[in-house]
Amino acid sequence: MSVELSSQLLWLIPALPAVGSAVLLLTGRRADRWGHLLGTGLALLSAIIGIALWIGMIGRPATDRTVHSDLFSWVPVGELRVDFGFQLDQLAMCFVLLITVVGSLIHVYSIGYMADDPDRRRFFAYLNLFVAAMLVLVLSDNYLGLYLGWEGVGVASYLLIGFWQYKPTAATAAKKAFVVNRVGDMGLAIALMILFATFGSVTFSEVFSMAGDAGQATLTALGFMFLLAACGKSAQVPLQSWLGDAMEGPTPVSALIHAATMVTAGVYLITRSGPIFDLAPHARTGVVVVGAVTLLFGAIIGCAKDDIKKALAASTMSQIGYMVLAAGLGPAGYAFAIMHLLTHGFFKAGLFLGAGSVMHAMNDETDMRRLGGLRTVMPITFATFGVGYLAIIGVPPFAGFYSKDHIIEAAFAAGGARGWLLGLAALLGAGITAFYMTRVMLMTFFGKRRWDHRARPHESGSTMIGPMILIAIGSLASGGLLAIGGTLQDWLAPVVGETHEHAPPIPTWSLTAIILVTVALGVAIAWRQYGQTPIPVRAPIEVSMLTVAARADLYGDAVNERLLMRPGQELTAGLLAVEDNGLDGVGRGIGAAVNSASTWIRRWQNGFVRSYAMSMLAGTVAMIALIMAVNIL
């Protein structure tokens, strides 16, 4: 496919789901019978165009694969001139394929999952909006267009998390996600201001070409503002508290947020802004620290969650932490961050769709202590979920083995004490991941059946099973296909640079063996604790302090309340007091003075002619006296 034809088709990729969303929202109830089919069909058509453009991109030389499409002049204001344009390069193509292919499968799955919901048409409109906004985010050729998609993703997530807004928990979760993300969004907004003030442009090509001439303080500030934005969208410490509550939305929403859209946006922003981070070592250090802390943070939380969706949400936080850590390593880790993002897109979507299948069969039960023994009554769900489980813990030859191992090796290869610290954190995270994911498998599919006698678990229908099987195939094969011969590294090199791989401090084969032993140890500990002893229906009350902290999400909400919410409330109260007693006080004082003066002057207007005559006489005498005094002087 030629570059010209690709350019002409490019705008259709985000436009199709955007049109679907508009049609489904504007036609209202008239589209209830066919709205889900339209939304799914347009998402699939967008995926087909994306695949066609990918095939055409493969057929061109590596240096001639980028496609540009300028649609119209967007912001022609003074010195700032921004065109609304798209740029499809190798990095954007990775996200386009992930968003459209996995997103389309989630659409198909939703046809069955939401079959009995009276607002299914509106749900598909929001799904289309989510996909369209994410595509705008990754295809824009400038930061302002990226910001547009960024905010669109935020709006769509708010609508989908709170889709069942009649539930107070869902409405609260939607508001929480929206507010927490606004904190991160301030980082991106400030970064846009810095970009314009420094470079006079927000276009990627112009900013990156001039980045070397900017001051170190400016580049560091930009890097940290981008990091703040990424922490919000990708649920990284300290803006991670919204992710677990976001499970209040329908399960397909969880799969879309965690696998193909929202949480991957932060990783994209950091990777796309690589030329800036490469010149700002302090900002890169911040990225590495956030990733390392979050991968352990999420893994520890996942160990104590009995809600299957919240356990998977914690795992997302942890796995995105691996990606952020890799991206923070710069050219040594950009490609590995994207590799893990792509493999994670498959196995995390499969895990969430499997959890949705379990809920669908168990009257929306999410407490794993009330499940158990489902492998015999839901064999396909068990098999597809099991593939995702093996992929996320990194068992060869499943996808996670290739991508996560590369990140751990790159962390150890960072050099010196820093490399050992990052490598050990990533290795420990792999062991904890194996523990809590094995716990999820054992509590859900193995052991004694602990469900209510009224439950009638059954396998899901074909519209749900089909996508689960296809995604399971991706969870098995994607890692090997991306890793063989450095396929992904070579593919991304024109955009993120050559992958500068450094040897870890110990031989690679021995490090791989250590990783697998660590994973096996995590599995063995979980098997001993949850596979060989009966699981109580109610969680034990007498537990360790760490378990209590993990159940409370390591006090993330408490910290945010203490550090942000309470000071914010006190600041607001103080500003109101200043306004009330200061600005408003001055206004009220002036008004009172005018009122008093008016009252005093009004006494002269008493309606008696003799009083007015006396006033005129007194005024005349005063004027004569004044004139005489002036003449005498």
User: For the chain, what is the mean pLDDT?
Assistant: 92
Whether 606 has a pLDDT exceeding 70, the answer reads no
For residue 306, give the 3-state DSSP assignment. coil
Determine the average pLDDT of the residues in 97-108.
97
pTM: 0.91
- Choice among 55-59, 400-404, 518-522, 562-566 with the minimum mean pLDDT: 562-566
Least confident of 63-77, 537-551, 595-609: 595-609
Q: Contacts by 116-124 with C-beta closer than 8 Å and gap 24+?
A: 117/250, 119/163, 120/32, 120/35, 120/36, 121/24, 121/29, 121/31, 121/32, 121/35, 121/36, 122/24, 122/25, 122/163, 123/160, 123/163, 123/250, 124/20, 124/24, 124/35, 124/36, 124/38, 124/39, 124/40
The CA-based dihedral angle spanning residues 383, 384, 388, 389, taken in that order and rounded to the nearest 10 degrees: -30
- What is 555-619 written as a DSSP string? GHHHHHIIIIIHHHHHHHHHHHHHIIIIIHHHHHHHHHHHHHHHHHHHTT----HHHHHHHHHHH
The pLDDT score that the predictor gives to residue 538 is 86
- Type and span of the H or E element at 627: helix 609-632
Question: What pLDDT band is residue 609 in, cutting at 50, 70 and 90?
Answer: confident
pLDDT at 583: 67
Least confident of 48-62, 130-144, 486-500, 619-633: 619-633
Dump pLDDT digits (tens) for 502-531: 888 899 999 999 999 999 999 999 999 999
Closest CA to 204 of 149, 263, 282, 145: 145
- 406 vs 479: CA distance, rounded Å: 11
